Amino acid sequence: MSCKVVLAQGISVSYREELKNTIKARNICPKLVGFLANEDPAAAKYAEWTAKTCAETGVEFELRKCSRNDLEDKIVEANQDAGVHGIMVYYPVFGDRQDQYLQNVVDVSKDVEGLHHKYVYNMYHNIRFLDEAKTKKCIIPCTPLGLVKVMEYVGVYNGILPHGNRLHGRVVTIINRSEIVGRPLAALLANDGAKVYSVDINGIQEFHRGVGLQLKKHEVSETTLTVEDVLPLSDVVITGVPSPSYKVPSHLIRDGAVCINFSTFKNFDGDEIKKKASIYVPAVGKVTVAMLERNLVRLYDYQAQDRASSTA
Amino acid sequence: MSCKVVLAQGISVSYREELKNTIKARNICPKLVGFLANEDPAAAKYAEWTAKTCAETGVEFELRKCSRNDLEDKIVEANQDAGVHGIMVYYPVFGDRQDQYLQNVVDVSKDVEGLHHKYVYNMYHNIRFLDEAKTKKCIIPCTPLGLVKVMEYVGVYNGILPHGNRLHGRVVTIINRSEIVGRPLAALLANDGAKVYSVDINGIQEFHRGVGLQLKKHEVSETTLTVEDVLPLSDVVITGVPSPSYKVPSHLIRDGAVCINFSTFKNFDGDEIKKKASIYVPAVGKVTVAMLERNLVRLYDYQAQDRASSTA
């Protein structure tokens, strides 16, 4: 039994150090506002934790609590406030499609989470820049981005291969196909060369890189495969099931697989999975927050750029 | 028993005649493309029907069928084709949040259904024009718009009152709080002065006009009321439950209520409801299609306007 357990804390260190140094060296003070409009203890904990991490890095974080019916007005207020550089919302708020509406209410220039349609669309279409002059890189949704960083850290991305092909040959199962994490992640990994089985309660889709002229964009095929079929084939298993009772069936996991959990609940049975996996990452939250801060600094610079060009 | 049954066909006649005359008089040929990417017989029927209505009015309608995984690329293609003036999609496609993503993939300048975030946001915020010069009126989501027209036709809107206040004193229950119809409709009716009980499986919210400085925008309050509480209070009951087995409990309906169904299924028991309602509108599809065509002609003009100003 030689499973290596890798903690998000360690993965995030280099990103956070870099951010801290940048913020200090440039003597800037980017401000992030987080909106908490639910009673979910997991969200409150995540908020507490964002505050702590931001304090360490030199980011000003302000948590604003309100009722869910006031949230839209509060977001619009923050959109219009030049003193606020980034906005995030602790979801779920309504827990239905209204949450997706709210994601688009956050101004695209302040959306540190990268959940605005513009960013999501650009990510799916492999559009890397916001402007034609290519001075502004697109924001990538921060949990999928964090998961890519985790996979780089644990060696799933093969640095010997050229960029954009570093997952060639990898088979990945992702148990979650939400619009926030699972589906964008599947597309990102497919764009980098992986074969991805994307699992949700309605079935399994396969994401892979397009062929021929479409080489740059992922393709999706429907399958009739089951979890029993795809788990034994997968080098990497990534889970994000928002339920305390769900556990990935350990006996289906391939020996030596890399197992990563991004749910706030433990989707893997810790003892069992260590007998099968080569690498186990039980949580990724700290890496996600580091990406959030990275996005914030980027947006801070874009906003300064926009102000400079509008007064020029 | 003196219930008046009002059919959508009759309500839509004046709108369709007006459109037909406009299109003929101006000698234009606006083109609408409909995408069918599901196997839902109700969607196929609606498509068939859109085709028939368009032929009558002088609109060129083309139905394009594809697999759901190809739909996004097909929409992007139509976005870029100057020969296509309007785009609509027969939902559900994926039946989950991916459908809401697709709604934002349709270019805002071709979105005849008014489902793009920009239109929905503007509607909720009572923003009436797309441009600062106020030459382009916003597109309103077409099913809610159609339902407003139905309510005007059957006299729920009181023409004696000033515009924007013509539902003052009305109590409306809407059984459906989807992002496509129920929630925008609740906001529209509240903005016109109604008290609206918005019902979904998670509970009932009350939409009413804001007070004080916010007079122009609706407000939402949570309630602990049940259907048993709100139906007996309601002058108007509007239903859109996508299930063949759901029936509104007729005994709860107030004597003389106005009952309108926009589901493709019959949410009211026809015989029972006629004993209670003063007016019963069993379906609204034809009015919705008329609004779709109206939006198309509007977008056709905006596109011509944009081309003229970009070559000027």
Q: Is the Cα torsion angle A183, A188, A189, A195 positive or negative in sign?
A: positive
Does A219 lie in the same domain as A165?
Answer: yes
**Beta-carbon separation of A120 and B98 below 8 A:** no
Domain count, chain B: 2
A chain contacts of residue B77, beta-carbon cutoff 8 Å: none
Q: CB distance from B107 to chain A under 8 Å? A: no
Q: Is residue A127 part of a domain?
A: no
Q: Which of B76, B98, B124 sits opposite A183 (nearest CB)?
A: B98
Region for A231 from its dihedrals, namely left if φ exceeds 0, alpha if ψ lies in -120 to 50, beta otherwise: alpha
* Tens digits of residue pLDDT in A245-299: 999 999 999 999 999 999 989 999 999 999 999 999 999 999 999 999 999 999 9
Q: CB distance from A101 to chain B under 8 Å? A: yes
* Tens digits of residue pLDDT in A56-67: 999 999 999 999
Residues of chain B predicted below pLDDT 70: 1, 211-216, 312
Task: In whole angstroms, give the CA distance from residue A159 to residue A170.
Answer: 13
Region for A256 from its dihedrals, namely left if φ exceeds 0, alpha if ψ lies in -120 to 50, beta otherwise: left
User: Which domain CATH number covers A50?
Assistant: 3.40.50.10860
Burial of A163 (0-12, 13-18, 19+ CB in 10 A): exposed
Q: Is residue B63 part of a domain?
A: yes
Does A282 lie in the same domain as A222?
Answer: yes
Does B165 lie in the same domain as B262?
Answer: yes
B185-204 burial, b at 16+ Cβ within 10 Å, e below that, comes to bbbbbbbbbbbbbbbbeeeb
pLDDT given at position A114: 96
pLDDT given at position A210: 72
Does B105 lie in the same domain as B235?
Answer: no
Q: Is residue A136 part of a domain?
A: no
Q: Of B87, B109, B131, which residue constitutes the final position of a domain?
A: B109
**Beta-carbon separation of B117 and A104 below 8 A:** yes
- How much is the ipTM here? 0.77
Paired strand residues for A33: A62, A87
Q: Is residue A6 part of a domain?
A: no
Rounded average pLDDT over A141-161: 92
Would you please indicate which residues of A are annotated as catalytic (active-site) residues?
Answer: 142
Does A33 lie in the same domain as A82?
Answer: yes
Q: Is residue A293 part of a domain?
A: no
Which of A66, A79, A93, A100 is the best substitution to test chain B (most B C-beta atoms within 10 A)?
A100
B chain contacts of residue A219, beta-carbon cutoff 8 Å: 69
Query: Could you tell me the two tokens for B267?
Result: 């949410």
Q: Is residue B59 part of a domain?
A: yes
Contact A19, A290 (CB under 8 A): yes
Does B105 lie in the same domain as B151?
Answer: no
Rounded average pLDDT over A224-235: 95
Does B282 lie in the same domain as B148?
Answer: yes
Reported confidence tier of residue A1, pLDDT bands at 50, 70, 90: low
B chain contacts of residue A208, beta-carbon cutoff 8 Å: none
User: Which domain CATH number covers A242?
Assistant: 3.40.50.720
B209-218 burial, b at 16+ Cβ within 10 Å, e below that, comes to bbeeeeeebb
Task: In whole angstroms, give the CA distance from residue B103 to residue B289.
Answer: 18
**Whole-number average pLDDT of chain A:** 92
Does B280 lie in the same domain as B158?
Answer: yes
Does A103 lie in the same domain as A156?
Answer: no
* Tens digits of residue pLDDT in A154-165: 989 988 888 888
Does B162 lie in the same domain as B103?
Answer: no
Does A157 lie in the same domain as A80?
Answer: no
Rounded average pLDDT over A165-188: 92
* Tens digits of residue pLDDT in B158-203: 888 888 888 988 999 999 999 889 999 999 999 888 999 999 998 9
Q: Of B91, B109, B127, which residue constitutes the final position of a domain?
A: B109
**Beta-carbon separation of B179 and A101 below 8 A:** yes
Closest CA to A208 of A186, A241, A238, A236: A186
Q: CB distance from B183 to chain A under 8 Å? A: yes
Q: Is residue B91 part of a domain?
A: yes
Q: Is residue A124 part of a domain?
A: no
The residue segments making up the domain with residue B240 are: 144-286
Does B97 lie in the same domain as B172?
Answer: no
